């Protein structure tokens, strides 16, 4: 490993199922302490990538390094240091939450005393201390998901990999769970998460990679991508009372950092800019003699970036 701070590194990683290529020559570099989102629609190869990183599926070709280990040669070292939350998490329903965790602790070779203290700590942290002696069969989806996190905290992982962590959660539970992810990220653990719900996870990810049919098409911070794909990362909307439309448009057009401007119905002006030009735009409207009724700013979502990008890609292919 050439860089101390790269905790997950893949090079030309490829997985084929027969003739079908699920992951195609993937180069991924994840740095210590970051929260990285592996985003893309269903079937784009996210789960396959994760399984190869964990050594649970054999790559067809290419290499993986996790904390400097090769998951195929040193699966035990990798699995002792990486916590994994599968996309469909299951527990032994006939056992209690605590009993489920004890099994995992023992599989990790922890002593009884160590196991019990870590289990108490993890259950406490996930807010499951009260229900620790209840059978998991009675748990809600959200509770299971938190138990899944408690489960992987037992091994005190340096890296946590979560596959579709918000899938099947109601919006409130999803929000709570995203907070948990954020907290884990803040505590210094490197997190790799996958999701097909781009809008949901964009705020917790430091960096995202957008996947499409086994390829990583785009990568960077959300702002970064917005900049590259949409041109402007900020979309500002102004509504006026309709007077002086001509001179307002001219005034707005002369603002710095503006990448596009158009007029919509009901006297809306929509402008895209590379910086937050809200106050300058408001001033410009005023100077042109307009009457500002509303001013909104939209920070573009990953969904938009994604949709826009693939529209372009497909147009380019047709052309």
Partner 1 sequence: MLKSLNLGSTREREGSPWRGLWVVVAKDMADHLTSARMRIMELLIVLTAAGTVYAAMQNIRSTVGRDPFVFLKLFTTSQDPLPAFIGFLGFLVPLLAITLAFDAVNGEFNQRTLSRVLAQPIYRDALLLGKFLAGLFTLALVLATIWLLIIGLGILGLGLPPSGEEVARILVFLVGTIFYGGVWLALALVFSTVFRQSATAALASIAVWLFFMVFWSIVVSSLARILQPGEPTTLQQALNQAQLLQTLTRFSPNTLYVEATVGLLNPAVRSFGLVLPTELQGALIGSPLPLDQSILLIWPHLTGLIAITLLLFAIAYVLFQRQEIRA
Q: Which residues pair with 194 in a beta bridge?
A: 38, 163
Picked from ligand ADP, partner 1, Mg ion, none, the partner binding residue 80 (CB below 5 to 8 A depending on kind) is: partner 1
92-to-95, 144, 154 alpha-carbon distances in Å: 6, 11, 17
N-to-C CA span, the chain: 42
Q: How far is CA 227 from CA 99, 197, 221, 315, in A?
A: 49, 21, 10, 20
Q: Rounded distance, CA 296 to CA 272, Å? A: 12
45 scored as a contact of ligand ADP (CB under 6 A): yes
Residue 240 is a binding residue for ligand ADP (CB under 6 A): no
Q: Which does 92 bind (CB under 5 to 8 A by kind): Mg ion, partner 1, ligand ADP, none?
A: partner 1
Residue from 90, 127, 231, 264 touching partner 1 (CB under 8 A): that is 90
Contact positions with partner 1 (CB under 8 A) in 93-132: 93-94, 103-104, 106-109
Smallest gap from residue 45 Cβ to ligand ADP (A): 4
47, 57, 190, 202: residue in contact with Mg ion (rule CB under 5 A): 47
User: Does position 46 bind ligand ADP by CB under 6 A?
Assistant: yes
Q: Which token pair is 211? A: 């996947």
Q: Does 47 bind ligand ADP (CB under 6 A)?
A: yes
The interface partner of residue 116, options being Mg ion, partner 1, ligand ADP, none and the CB cut-off 5 to 8 Å by kind, is none
The size of the interface with ligand ADP (CB under 6 A), counted in residues, is 11
Of 19 and 73, CB closest to ligand ADP: 19
- The reply on whether position 167 binds partner 1 by CB under 8 A is no
Q: What is the DSSP letter of 130?
A: G
**Rounded to whole angstroms, what are the CA distances from 133 to 13, 41, 112?**
43, 38, 17
Tell me, rounded to whole angstroms, the distance of Cα 94 from its chain centroid: 33
Report helix, strand or coil for 205. coil
Per the structure block, which two tokens stand in for 160? Answer: 């946590």
Rounded Cα distance between 290 and 284, Å, is 9
Nearer to Mg ion (CB atom), residue 47 or residue 190: 47
48-87 positions binding ligand ADP, by CB under 6 A: 48
Binding ligand ADP by CB under 6 A: which of 4, 19, 20, 256? 20
142 scored as a contact of partner 1 (CB under 8 A): no
By the 10 Å C-beta count (0-12 exposed, 13-18 middle, 19+ buried), 211 is classed as buried
Chosen residue from 42, 88, 254, 266 binding ligand ADP by CB under 6 A: 42
Q: Is 168 in the site for partner 1 (CB under 8 A)?
A: no
Nearer to ligand ADP by Cβ, of 46 and 235: the residue is 46
Strand order in the sheet with 268-273: 258-263, 268-273, 234-240, 292-298
Is residue 57 involved in binding partner 1 (CB under 8 A)?
Answer: yes
**Cβ–Cβ under 8 Å, residues 72 and 15:** no
Cβ proximity to ligand ADP: between 211 and 234 the closer is 211
54 near partner 1 (CB under 8 A):
yes
Reading phi first (left if > 0) and then psi (alpha if -120 to 50, else beta), residue 229 is in: alpha
Q: Which residue has the tokens 């147009």?
A: 315
List residues binding partner 1 (CB under 8 A): 47, 51, 54, 56-58, 72-77, 79-80, 82-84, 86-94, 103-104, 106-109, 148, 151, 155
List residues binding ligand ADP (CB under 6 A): 17, 20, 22, 40, 42-48
List residues binding Mg ion (CB under 5 A): 47
């Amino acid at each position: 490993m050439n860089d101390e701070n790269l905790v997950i590194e893949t090079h030309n990683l490829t997985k084929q199922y027969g003739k079908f290529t699920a992951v195609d020559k993937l180069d991924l570099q994840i740095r210590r302490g970051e929260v990285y989102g592996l985003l893309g629609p269903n079937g784009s190869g996210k789960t396959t990538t994760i399984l190869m990183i964990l050594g649970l599926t054999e790559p067809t070709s290419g290499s993986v390094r996790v904390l400097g280990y090769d998951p195929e040669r040193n699966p035990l070292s990798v699995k002792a240091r990486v916590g994994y939350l599968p996309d469909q998490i299951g527990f032994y329903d006939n056992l209690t939450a605590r009993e489920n965790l004890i099994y995992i602790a023992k599989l990790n070779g922890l002593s009884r005393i160590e196991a019990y203290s870590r289990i108490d700590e993890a259950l406490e942290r996930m807010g499951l201390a009260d229900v620790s002696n209840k059978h998991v069969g009675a748990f809600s989806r959200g509770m299971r998901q938190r138990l899944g996190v408690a489960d992987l905290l037992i091994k005190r992982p340096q890296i946590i990999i979560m596959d579709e962590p918000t899938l099947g959660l109601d919006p409130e539970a999803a929000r709570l769970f995203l907070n948990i992810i954020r907290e884990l990220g803040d505590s210094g653990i490197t997190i790799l998460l996958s999701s097909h719900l781009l809008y949901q996870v964009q705020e917790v990810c430091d960096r995202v990679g957008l996947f499409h049919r086994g390829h990583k098409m785009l990568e960077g911070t959300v702002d970064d991508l917005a900049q590259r794909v949409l041109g402007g990362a900020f979309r500002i909307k102004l509504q006026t009372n309709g007077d002086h439309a001509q001179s307002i448009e001219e005034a707005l057009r002369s603002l710095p950092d503006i990448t596009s401007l158009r007029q919509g119905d009901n006297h809306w002006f929509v402008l895209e800019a590379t910086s937050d030009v809200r106050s300058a735009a408001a001033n410009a409207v005023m100077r042109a003699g307009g009457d500002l009724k509303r001013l909104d700013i939209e920070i573009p979502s990953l969904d938009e970036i994604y949709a826009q990008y693939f529209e372009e890609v497909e147009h380019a292919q047709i052309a």
